[in-house]
Amino acid sequence: MADIKSVGVIGAGQMGNGIAHVLALAEYDVVLSDVSADALTRAVDTIRTNMVRQVSRGKIDEATMDTALGRIVTSQDMAVVGQTDLVIESATERETIKQAIFEDVQPHLKPTTILTSNTSSISITRLASRTDRPERFMGFHFMNPVPVMPLVELIRGIATDQPTFDACQTVVDKLGKTSASAEDFPAFIVNRILMPMINEAVYTLYEGVGNVESIDSAMKLGANHPMGPLQLADFIGLDTCLAIMNVLHDGLADTKYRPCPLLTKYVEAGWLGRKSQRGFYDYRGDVPVPTR
């Protein structure tokens, strides 16, 4: 089984910086990469801010934080990323972008490097088939926010070999997280169950059964959910929710996965949730205000 000591993380957004954060704390050397130099700067600042918060809460000490931050280097050079033992792609949830990333990094990979994707819904088998190492390719799906959520979905493609799975399982264990082994079907486990619930909540809004506040309050107080489905959708990103629903609808050919037209409309408007300051709630003031 491969002895993984260094990890390349491609994509320095919300997921990518969280993945780099937990890897560094688990004593892995991390190369964080992104097409945007500004994104890399923001990512390191975010990681530092989040670790300072952990120090203030007594989760880690300052020495641990300083050592972990010292393990993270940033680079826009795929040749640097390719020399790591494990690569985790964490770019936006669009298959063409992910394929382009794998094509860019592939010529620089060591023969032993394991390739993985943090995709939340896209076929691992199909992504792997476009690389030179489908047997050393699998899904490595973290939950958001990465430093807080204890689950990682491990998804085998049809060609993924056992040593690759075992090596990734060892990484999950070292991170102190719990893995769920999922088969390579659209949206895997968590999003196969979660996204249709969110989509149904949007239909409930679309059809006038309830407004944003009543739907979220009903699910928090009536089903004991920590966050209402529309609030959660805003947190995830409405574009991501729509992309996953489209993967489910296209991949399973079942009308029950048809994305709600209202979800599509919000995305077309650029109202993507928290990251754009507007979604099912408006976040531009001191307190989030429902938009419907």
The CATH classification number of 6-182 equals 3.40.50.720
- CA dihedral (128, 130, 134, 137) in degrees, to 10, reads -40
CA distance 221 to 20: 35
**Between 229-236 and 212-222, two packed helices, what is the crossing angle to 10 degrees?**
110
Is residue 153's pLDDT more than 70? yes
Is 179 annotated as catalytic?
no
Cα dihedral 197, 151, 56, 66 sign: negative
pLDDT band at 5 (very low <50, low <70, confident <90, very high): very high
Say if residue 188's pLDDT is above 80: yes
Residue 93 has a pLDDT of: 87
pLDDT exceeds cutoff 60 at 260: yes
Contact 155, 139 (CB under 8 A): yes
Q: Average pLDDT, stretch 124-131? A: 96
The pLDDT of residue 57 is 96
**Cis ω before 163 (30° cut-off from 0):** no
Tokens of 252: 């399973």
The one catalytic residue among 17, 33, 117, 191: 191
Question: 6, 33, 121, 153: which one is catalytic?
Answer: 153
- Rounded mean pLDDT, 255-282: 97
Which residue in 96, 116, 130, 163 sits closest to 15, CA to CA? 116
Contact present, 8 and 84 (Cβ < 8 Å): yes
pLDDT in tens, 54-97: 999 999 999 999 999 999 999 999 999 999 999 999 998 889 99
Whether 27 sits among the annotated catalytic residues: the reply is no
In the chain, the percentage of residues whose pLDDT exceeds 70 is: 99
Q: Is 141 a catalytic residue?
A: yes
Q: Would you say residue 175 has pLDDT above 70?
A: yes
Element (H, E) at 216: helix 212-222
Whole-Å CA distances, 225 to 175, 179, 237, 269, 280? 26, 22, 19, 28, 18
Q: What is the mean pLDDT of the chain?
A: 96
Predicted local distance difference test score (pLDDT) of residue 170:
97
- Please identify which of the residues 120, 121, 179, 199 carries the catalytic annotation: 120
Q: How many CB atoms lie within 10 A of CB 74?
A: 19
- 179: pLDDT strictly greater than 70: yes
Mean per-residue pLDDT for 105-120? 96
CB count in 10 Å sphere of residue 265: 13
Annotation marks residue 191 as catalytic: yes
> Taking 90 as the threshold, does the pLDDT of residue 105 lie above it?
yes
Q: What is the pLDDT of residue 218?
A: 98
Catalytic residue among 17, 89, 93, 141: 141
- Domain locations in the chain as residue ranges: 6-182, 191-290
Residue 34: per-residue pLDDT: 97
User: In one letter, which amino acid is 56?
Assistant: S
In the block, which residue shows the tokens 């990103």? 237
pLDDT reported for residue 73 = 98
Nearest-angstrom CA–CA distance, 185 and 125:
9
pLDDT in tens, 202-248: 999 999 999 999 999 999 999 999 999 999 999 999 999 999 999 99
Return the pLDDT at 60.
96
91: helix, strand or coil: coil
Indicate the pLDDT class of residue 1, thresholds 50, 70 and 90: low
Q: How far apart are the first and last CA of the chain?
A: 53
Please state which architecture CATH assigns to domain 191-290.
Answer: Orthogonal Bundle (1.10)
Copy the structure tokens of residue 3.
């002895």
